[in-house]
Amino acid sequence: MNAAPVGFFDSGYGGLCIHAAFLRRCPGESTVYIADSANCPYGNRPSAEIIRLSEENTRRLLGEFGCKMIVVACNTATAAAIDFLREKFAPLPFIGLEPAVKPAALKSKTGIVGVLATAGTFGGRLYRETKDKFAKDVTVIATVADEFVTEVENLRGRRVEDLPADEYSRVEDIVRRKIEPLMAAGADKIVLGCTHFPHLKSVIEKVASGKAEVIEPSEAVARQAARVLAKLGLEAPDGASAKHVFISTSD
Ligand code: DGL
């Protein structure tokens, strides 16, 4: 048993979907979430820079808050930095994210899968290896959708469904430009490989109009985080009062 908080970081609002899924599963856990908004977006930065930022976020989660586990709630940071972090901070447990290509490839009936992520994620070893291993028999259409990151940051915590009509239709147009080519190509699975994108899930589903399933990993990541806490005996003691701290590195 361990009452220390679980740390999360992302370049901004994105990883909050992972954080929320984790708390639904583990409501007794305390958490600290760093949105590195001062350095958002991560998507196009060189790996060395993402490694440096990920190390800084981790040091803060450890030094200021004594976190017992870190969830790298960002596909881009996982792609660039998870090996480095695991080695540098061993034996601290890290949970990382990668696009859910495997379940999408296994479930696809058309044999065509669309993956939306940042350039950094597509350039990483994890993505390449997963694709080579599990998606050999399907066509994977990799689509960089950095515009979605900007739109989610612009929401500033609002739900996309609550935007005024003109703003909503501008966002829908941006989503349409990325999703329609996938639909035209016959994709029946769309993988959200960036934690910002689930915040636009309802718009993506609307554009896909029932012809493609939108797959996002929040629940699977939360399940894995809970499993690791239990396996390492790090769960919060029963009856501990959970506290949640949210930090943004910008104003
Ligand atoms: N939310 C992040 C991800 O999962 C990165 C978005 C960005 O900062 O470019 O990849």
The per-residue pLDDT for range 96-113, each reduced to its tens digit, is 999 999 999 999 999 999
Cα–ligand 1 centroid distance for 242 (angstroms): 27
Cα–ligand 1 centroid distance for 39 (angstroms): 11
Considering the chain, what is the average pLDDT of its residues? 96
Would you state the pLDDT for residue 238? Answer: 85
Cα–ligand 1 centroid distance for 42 (angstroms): 6
SS (H, E, C) 60-104: HHHHCCCCCEEEECCHHHHHHHHHHHHHHCCCCCEECCCCCHHHH
Q: Which DSSP string do the residues of 4-55 spell out, in sequence order? A: SPEEEEESSSTTHHHHHHHHHH-TT--EEEEE-GGG---TTS-HHHHHHHHH
* Rg, the chain, Cα only: 18
What is the biggest distance separating any 2 CA atoms in the chain, rounded to whole angstroms? 52
Cis peptide bond prior to 46, omega within 30° of 0: no
Would you state the pLDDT for residue 242? Answer: 95
Instruction: Determine how many CB atoms are found less than 10 A away from the CB of residue 170.
Output: 12
Which residues lie closer than 8 Å to 118 by C-beta, 6 or more apart? 41, 42, 43, 44, 75, 76, 144, 145, 146, 149, 194
| Residues taking part in catalysis | 74, 194
> Measured from the CA of 195, which atom of ligand 1 is nearest?
4
Amino acid at 192: L
Q: What is the pLDDT of residues 49-106, one digit of tens each?
A: 999 999 999 999 999 999 999 999 999 999 999 999 999 999 999 999 999 999 999 9
Q: Over 90: is that where the pLDDT of 171 sits?
A: yes
Q: Which DSSP string do the residues of 140-191 spell out, in sequence order? A: EEEEE-HHHHHHHHHHTT--GGGS-HHHHHHHHHHHHHHHHHHHHTT--EEE
CB-defined site of ligand 1, < 6 Å: 10-11, 14, 40-43, 74-76, 118, 121, 149, 194-196
Q: Over 90: is that where the pLDDT of 121 sits?
A: yes
Q: What is the pLDDT of residues 155-167, one digit of tens each?
A: 998 999 999 999 9
Would you state the pLDDT for residue 240? Answer: 75
Cα–ligand 1 centroid distance for 228 (angstroms): 24
CB 178 within 8 A of CB 143: yes
* Ligand 1 probe mutation, 146, 194, 197, 216, most atoms within 8 A of CB: 194
User: Can you say whether the dihedral through the CA atoms of 174, 246, 83, 235 is positive or negative?
Assistant: negative
Measured distance CA(204)–CA(175) in Å, rounded: 6
Q: Over 90: is that where the pLDDT of 251 sits?
A: no
